[in-house]
């Protein structure tokens, strides 16, 4: 989240802890600072991966912030009540460059992910530009990189898919990668967070991914889990990707599996090694089997295949009673 960048001279930063909910509430203009001649630029980030209560607010000021400005800032993050803010003067450098440190380009399989437009493209790779934002999925996290590597491997061994869904899409990156690998597929992507869907749409345009409902196009929806009529209507999918968290993956197992055709594939990520058995148990109960596992540090990526049923073919579309919601969970 940024406004116009302050000048490099005499830039100050104020840092406070916050929750993910507080961070998401800071999107757009902040009325508390509207009357300031030079309002601060607010940026939020995960302080601890996958902990919704461990986020961080960084406020960049042009000039030393006044006690009143710091008081206003504190009012935006009530969870930090009683915690002393970190106030520091930045070196005489461009604060944008400082804030983007650590976001180096990532190569995963055939894909090269740039987070800054100034980063050069990687020859011989599929290059995507996914600028840092509030939505998860810039390629930096092991879960996203693991999914990219698995998708690349699936294509290299000759797998073919014609109807793909990316549930909890974040920045849209995994849906973009799937469309590159299977350019004639129908593609659907959804997220519980409307901001993430807007970011995905902007990223699609920046990476020349065509929006729409036809072959080779990406249809985007705001949905809790798979709770959207269009997602059910476009089923059954032969490839479904869900890079979220272990809790919602388990909760969504029945509704996700109901959307996948017999013999179809589900790609799961966002879980830790110690959570893999519980997640696998939930999906095995829905007729899935583990086809392949790829560990990227502490973060496994699981490729599951839906077992064919014996006897007459049964409906594979979403049960009307299975809403596919995971309230309180956003995209990873």
Annotated binding-site members for S-adenosyl-L-methionine:
144, 168, 191, 243
Rounded distance between C-alpha atoms, residue 270 and residue 243, angstroms: 5
Rounded distance between C-alpha atoms, residue 210 and residue 196, angstroms: 17
Peptide bond connecting 236 to the previous residue in cis, omega within 30 degrees of 0: yes
Q: Are 217 and 187 in contact (CB under 8 A)?
A: yes
Place of tokens 């006044």: 66
Structure tokens at 54: 């461990």
Which alpha helices (DSSP H) does the chain contain, by range?
20-24, 67-75, 95-99, 142-156, 173-181, 194-206, 229-233, 246-258, 276-284
Place of tokens 């011989």: 124
> Torsions phi, psi of 159, nearest 5?
-70, 145
- What lies within 8 Å, CB to CB, of 134 at 6+ separation is 1, 23, 24, 27, 44, 195, 196, 199
Q: Are 130 and 171 in contact (CB under 8 A)?
A: yes
* Bind-site residues: 144, 168, 191, 243
* 13 DSSP β-pair partners: 60, 88
């Amino acid at each position: 989240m940024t406004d116009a960048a302050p000048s490099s001279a005499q830039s100050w930063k104020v840092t406070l802890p916050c929750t993910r909910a507080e961070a998401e509430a800071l999107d757009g203009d902040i009325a508390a600072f509207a009357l300031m001649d030079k309002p601060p630029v607010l940026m939020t980030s995960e302080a601890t991966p996958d902990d919704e209560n461990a986020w961080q607010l960084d406020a960049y000021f042009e000039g030393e912030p006044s006690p009143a400005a710091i008081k206003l800032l504190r009012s935006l993050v009530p969870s930090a009540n009683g915690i002393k803010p970190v106030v520091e003067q930045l070196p005489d450098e461009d604060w944008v460059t400082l804030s983007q440190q650590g976001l180096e380009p990532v190569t995963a399989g055939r894909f090269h992910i740039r987070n800054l437009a100034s980063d050069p493209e990687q020859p011989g790779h599929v290059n995507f530009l996914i600028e840092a934002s509030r939505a998860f999925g810039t390629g930096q996290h092991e879960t996203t990189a693991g999914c990219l590597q698995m998708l690349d491997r699936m294509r290299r061994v000759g797998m073919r898919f014609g109807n793909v869904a990316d549930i909890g899409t974040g920045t849209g990156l995994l849906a973009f990668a799937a469309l590159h690998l299977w350019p004639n597929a129908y593609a659907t992507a959804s997220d519980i967070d409307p901001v993430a869907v807007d970011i995905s749409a902007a990223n699609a345009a920046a990476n020349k991914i065509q929006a729409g409902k036809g072959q080779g196009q990406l249809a985007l929806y705001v949905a809790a889990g798979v709770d959207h009529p269009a997602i059910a209507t476009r089923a059954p999918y032969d490839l479904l990707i869900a890079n979220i968290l272990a809790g919602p993956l388990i909760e969504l197992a029945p509704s996700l599996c109901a959307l996948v055709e017999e013999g179809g594939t589900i790609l799961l990520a966002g879980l830790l090694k110690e959570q893999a058995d519980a997640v696998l148990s939930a999906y095995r109960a829905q007729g899935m089997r583990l086809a392949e596992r790829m560990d990227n540090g502490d973060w496994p990526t699981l490729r599951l295949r839906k077992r064919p049923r014996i006897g007459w073919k049964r409906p594979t579309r979403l049960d009307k009673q299975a809403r596919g919601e995971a309230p309180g969970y956003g995209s990873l």
